[in-house]
């Protein structure tokens, strides 16, 4: 231990996730430490991640988000009595004097200022939602969603003021969660997203298009590749103007990202990243070893530096880990923070959407040599009610390492995402993932779990056994009107029910392909497919064995096909 803790004074600025986590662990490890946590807000330690679910009315008292699992409010008195540290709310830190080791604070209700002296200081000031300087942004009923008040305003506007239409600006995960909440409340919801697909920081386009398809099926109006130009109305918002249209609305929810609150640190001369965010080491120490920082106000690095650095990852999961690392280090426990993989998961109506590591687009921008594979199929056997999931894996070819996974589906995405995240955390190769020893029983998974089967497809591609096109490439080939054959190898029954409406489609059920292969031309490119492309892959192998060289299967088949 660095100090007995007897006289150590620790001041923590910020009381939502990282701050209270640090303080609580610190008092458990070092009961004699004198810990004071301050926050400029009135309410601390709440689950901001639950705000969309309050808006959709999953529960009616927003203060549930401020309760322990057994229903006790996490008030300053609670923290003092149960955890043993002091909490000052409505108190803002206005400057840090590093040479004197003191923080100047202002009591917002009285205007009184005082100095708090520290031996160790923790900055956990979080992040602030971006509000771009768009004409009309200051009109009434234009919100961001960050704290309890924001969510209460939004819900009141619906339930008490009769708002019927909403525009969500930004198709990131919080934007989509809010769009779902507002739709469930019965509003006419539009999303305006500047990029060419939703979840642009999280997913490659062909996976994001599956999410878009689902949003549209659920009645959300989606305007991608559209830039918000102005918010119209008098006092209250009445419409938004994009570069392509006007959209009438009663409210606007901005969800275009957050920026780290690093001003205090900057003013105190601590090293910060040029794009924002306090720079910290593996123990969350800033450039001043007596000052720590964690949560949304810092920049992180990837566990594997070649995946790019630094990375801004404003996630509650990470803020809590930082809190623990900081408390450990203050007490002398050496537990380095290994870095992030940006593991993110969210619910979009019936879909679960997850991502770990980097996308193919990011990998290509980093000039990494990548191979990818998309797999689609049920999360457990069909006779147990399996539901579809679609997995995209991205590997670095040279080292055969998994560097990214994207998963979407109505089945159990979360289990596969966490297996992928754990494997990546320990630096697994695709070969290792292909033979993981995972639990199997029909209620939970097929004998070979989808995460392993996806690795098999990827290995088959890396070993030149499988040749395939991802849906975007296949779509491009089809659009370019190449003289191709779209070989549907499903059963006659499946063929009669759905499929591509395209005159280049030839239907030969897989069981007849060996006999009827001569009906196909070896001079044409052949794209094989079925429902999920297991049979599509088999067809590719059968045709290869008969001397057809220009054969590719469409990855993920019709289930992963994101177009009409
Ligand atoms: P914050 O939560 O930003 O808290 C910082 C606190 O510091 C604030 O209370 C602020 O008032 C206080 N403060 C700032 N400056 C000062 C000052 N000068 N003096 C005194 N006090 C100050 N993350 C996930 O991992 N999964 C999710 O599903 C998820 N969903 C989310 C959904 C929504 C709608 C939102 C808004 C966030 C979600 N997040 C999610 C992100 C997660 O909530 C944040 O990453 C987490 O709250 C960050 O915690 P923090 O302690 O770093 O900072």
DSSP letter string, 170-238: --SHHHHHHHHHHHHTT-EEEEEESSSSSSTTT--HHHHHHHHHHHHHTT-EEEES--EEEEEESSBEE
Among 39, 95, 116, residue to substitute to test ligand 1 (most atoms within 8 Å of Cβ): 39
pLDDT of residue 7: 80
Q: Which residue has the tokens 């803020």?
A: 319
- Of 5 and 321, more confident: 321
Among 49, 163, 346, 530, which one carries the catalytic annotation?
49
pLDDT tens-digit series, residues 512-541:
999 999 999 999 999 999 999 899 999 999
Mean pLDDT calculated for residue range 396-420: 97
Q: Is 342 in the pocket of ligand 1 (CB under 6 A)?
A: no
Among 23, 108, 125, residue to substitute to test ligand 1 (most atoms within 8 Å of Cβ): 125
Among 25, 44, 48, 347, residue to substitute to test ligand 1 (most atoms within 8 Å of Cβ): 48
pLDDT tens-digit series, residues 273-295:
999 999 999 999 999 999 999 99
Mean pLDDT calculated for residue range 495-503: 94
Q: Is 174 in the pocket of ligand 1 (CB under 6 A)?
A: yes
- The residue among 326, 269, 250 whose CA lies nearest residue 14 is 326
User: 432, exposed or middle or buried, with CB in 10 Å at 0-12, 13-18, 19+?
Assistant: middle
Q: What spacing in Å lies between the alpha carbon of 125 and ligand 1's midpoint? A: 8
Q: Is 237 in the pocket of ligand 1 (CB under 6 A)?
A: no
**Number of CB atoms found within 10 A of residue 9's CB:** 15
Q: Is 340 in the pocket of ligand 1 (CB under 6 A)?
A: no
pLDDT of residue 308: 79
- Whether residue 1 is predicted with pLDDT greater than 90 in this model: the reply is no
Nearest CA to ligand 1 atom 31: 49
What pTM did the predictor assign? 0.95
- Whether residue 5 is predicted with pLDDT greater than 60 in this model: the reply is no
- Whether residue 222 is predicted with pLDDT greater than 80 in this model: the reply is yes
For the chain, how far is it from start to end, CA to CA, in angstroms? Answer: 63
Q: Closest ligand 1 atom to the C-alpha of 18? A: 51
Nearest CA to ligand 1 atom 42: 316
Q: Is 323 in the pocket of ligand 1 (CB under 6 A)?
A: no
Instruction: Please tell me the distance from the alpha carbon of residue 140 to that of residue 253, in angstroms, as a whole number.
Output: 11
Q: Is 526 in the pocket of ligand 1 (CB under 6 A)?
A: no
pLDDT of residue 4: 53
Q: Closest ligand 1 atom to the C-alpha of 52? A: 34
Mean pLDDT calculated for residue range 52-77: 96
Q: Closest ligand 1 atom to the C-alpha of 258? A: 36
Mean pLDDT of the chain: 96
- The residue among 48, 237, 228 whose CA lies nearest residue 142 is 237
Q: What spacing in Å lies between the alpha carbon of 479 and ligand 1's midpoint? A: 45
pLDDT of residue 307: 82
Q: What spacing in Å lies between the alpha carbon of 564 and ligand 1's midpoint? A: 39
Q: Closest ligand 1 atom to the C-alpha of 51? A: 34
- Whether residue 137 is predicted with pLDDT greater than 80 in this model: the reply is yes
- Whether residue 365 is predicted with pLDDT greater than 60 in this model: the reply is yes
Structure tokens at 21: 């986590």
Among 11, 12, 13, 14, residue to substitute to test ligand 1 (most atoms within 8 Å of Cβ): 14
pLDDT tens-digit series, residues 138-168:
999 999 999 999 999 999 999 999 999 999 9
- Whether residue 117 is predicted with pLDDT greater than 90 in this model: the reply is yes
Q: Which residue has the tokens 């469409």?
A: 554
Instruction: Please tell me the distance from the alpha carbon of residue 357 to that of residue 164, in angstroms, as a whole number.
Output: 39
Q: Is 296 in the pocket of ligand 1 (CB under 6 A)?
A: yes
pLDDT of residue 482: 81
Q: Is 38 in the pocket of ligand 1 (CB under 6 A)?
A: yes
Q: What spacing in Å lies between the alpha carbon of 41 and ligand 1's midpoint? A: 12
Q: Is 19 in the pocket of ligand 1 (CB under 6 A)?
A: yes
**Number of CB atoms found within 10 A of residue 364's CB:** 15
Instruction: Please tell me the distance from the alpha carbon of residue 37 to that of residue 382, in angstroms, as a whole number.
Output: 53
Q: Is 15 in the pocket of ligand 1 (CB under 6 A)?
A: yes
- Which residue pairs, CB below 8 angstroms and at least 24 apart, start in 268-277? 268/95, 268/96, 268/97, 268/98, 269/98, 273/299, 273/310, 275/312, 276/312, 277/310, 277/312
- CA angle in degrees (0–180, nearest 5) for 354-468-417: 15
Query: Could you tell me if 260 and 313 are in contact, meaning their C-beta atoms sit under 8 angstroms apart?
Result: no
Q: Is 339 in the pocket of ligand 1 (CB under 6 A)?
A: no
Task: Indicate if 284 belongs to the active site.
Answer: no
- Whether residue 2 is predicted with pLDDT greater than 80 in this model: the reply is no
- CA angle in degrees (0–180, nearest 5) for 475-346-439: 90
Burial string for 168-202 (b: 16+ CB within 10 Å, else e) reads bbbbbbbbbbbbbbbbbbebbbbbbbbbebbbbeb
Q: What spacing in Å lies between the alpha carbon of 258 and ligand 1's midpoint? A: 10
Phi, psi of 521 (to 5 degrees): -95, 135
Q: Which residues pair with 442 in a beta bridge?
A: none
Reported confidence tier of residue 304, pLDDT bands at 50, 70, 90: confident
- Whether residue 432 is predicted with pLDDT greater than 70 in this model: the reply is yes
Instruction: Please tell me the distance from the alpha carbon of residue 344 to that of residue 316, in angstroms, as a whole number.
Output: 10
pLDDT tens-digit series, residues 419-429:
999 999 999 99
Q: Closest ligand 1 atom to the C-alpha of 315? A: 45
Q: Closest ligand 1 atom to the C-alpha of 94? A: 18
Q: Closest ligand 1 atom to the C-alpha of 38? A: 20
Q: What spacing in Å lies between the alpha carbon of 331 and ligand 1's midpoint? A: 25
**Number of CB atoms found within 10 A of residue 367's CB:** 7
- Whether residue 6 is predicted with pLDDT greater than 70 in this model: the reply is no
- The residue among 308, 278, 248 whose CA lies nearest residue 122 is 278
Mean pLDDT calculated for residue range 25-37: 97
Instruction: Please tell me the distance from the alpha carbon of residue 85 to that of residue 279, in angstroms, as a whole number.
Output: 27
Instruction: Please tell me the distance from the alpha carbon of residue 47 to that of residue 33, in angstroms, as a whole number.
Output: 27
Query: Could you tell me if 215 and 171 are in contact, meaning their C-beta atoms sit under 8 angstroms apart?
Result: no
pLDDT of residue 89: 98
Instruction: Please tell me the distance from the alpha carbon of residue 8 to that of residue 120, in angstroms, as a whole number.
Output: 8
Helix-, strand-, coil-residue percentages of the chain, each rounded to 5: 30, 30, 40
């Amino acid at each position: 231990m660095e100090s007995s803790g007897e006289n150590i004074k620790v001041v923590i600025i910020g009381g939502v996730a990282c701050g209270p986590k640090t303080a609580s662990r610190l008092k458990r490890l070092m009961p004699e430490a004198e810990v004071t946590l301050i926050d400029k807000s009135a309410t601390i330690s709440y689950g901001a991640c639950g705000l969309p679910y309050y808006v959709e009315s999953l529960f009616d008292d927003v203060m549930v988000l401020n309760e322990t699992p057994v229903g006790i409010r996490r008030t300053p008195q609670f923290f003092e009595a149960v955890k043993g540290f002091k909490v000052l709310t409505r108190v803002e830190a206005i400057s840090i004097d590093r040479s004197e080791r003191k923080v100047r604070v202002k009591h917002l209700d009285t205007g009184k200022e005082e100095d708090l002296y520290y031996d160790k200081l923790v900055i956990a000031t979080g992040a602030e939602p971006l509000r771009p300087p768009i004409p009309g942004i200051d009109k009434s009923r234009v919100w961001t969603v960050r704290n309890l008040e924001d969510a209460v305003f939004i819900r009141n506007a619906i339930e008490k003021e009769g708002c019927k239409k909403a525009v969500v600006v930004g198709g990131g995960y919080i934007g989509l969660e809010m769009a779902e909440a507002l739709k469930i409340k019965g509003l006419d919801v539009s999303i305006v997203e500047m990029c060419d697909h939703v979840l642009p920081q999280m997913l490659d386009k062909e996976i994001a298009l599956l999410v878009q398809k689902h949003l549209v099926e659920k009645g959300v109006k989606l305007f991608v590749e559209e830039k918000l130009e102005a918010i119209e109305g008098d006092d209250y918002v009445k419409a938004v103007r994009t570069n392509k249209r006007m959209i009438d609305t009663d409210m606007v929810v901005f969800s275009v990202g957050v920026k780290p609150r690093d001003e205090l640190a900057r003013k105190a001369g601590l090293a910060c990243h040029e794009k924002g965010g306090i720079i910290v080491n593996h123990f969350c120490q800033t450039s001043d070893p007596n000052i720590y920082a964690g949560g949304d106000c810092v920049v992180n690095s990837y566990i594997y530096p070649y995946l790019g650095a630094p990375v801004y990852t404003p996630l509650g999961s990470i803020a809590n880990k930082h809190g623990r690392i900081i408390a450990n280090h203050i007490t002398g426990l050496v537990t380095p923070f290994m870095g992030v993989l940006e593991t993110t998961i969210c619910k979009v109506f019936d879909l679960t959407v997850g991502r770990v590591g980097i996308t193919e687009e990011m990998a290509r921008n980093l000039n990494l040599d990548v191979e990818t594979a998309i797999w689609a199929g049920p999360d457990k056997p069909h006779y147990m009610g399996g539901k579809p999931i679609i997995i995209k894996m991205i590997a670095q070819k040279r080292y055969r390492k998994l560097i990214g996974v994207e998963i979407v589906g109505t089945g159990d995405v979360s289990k596969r995402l966490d297996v992928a995240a754990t494997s990546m955390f320990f630096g697994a190769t695709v070969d290792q993932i292909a033979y993981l020893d995972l639990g199997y029983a029909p209620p939970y998974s097929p004998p070979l779990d989808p995460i392993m089967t996806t690795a098999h497809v990827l290995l088959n591609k890396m070993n030149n056994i499988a040749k395939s096109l991802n849906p975007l490439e296949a779509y491009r080939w089809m659009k370019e009107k190449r003289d191709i054959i779209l070989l549907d190898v499903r059963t006659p029954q499946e063929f009669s029910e759905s499929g591509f409406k395209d005159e280049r489609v030839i239907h030969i059920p897989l069981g007849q392909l060996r006999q009827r292969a001569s009906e196909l031309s070896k001079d044409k490119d052949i794209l094989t497919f079925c429902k999920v492309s297991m049979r599509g892959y088999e067809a590719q192998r059968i045709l290869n064995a008969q001397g057809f060289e220009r054969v590719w299967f469409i990855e993920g088949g019709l289930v992963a096909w994101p177009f009409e």
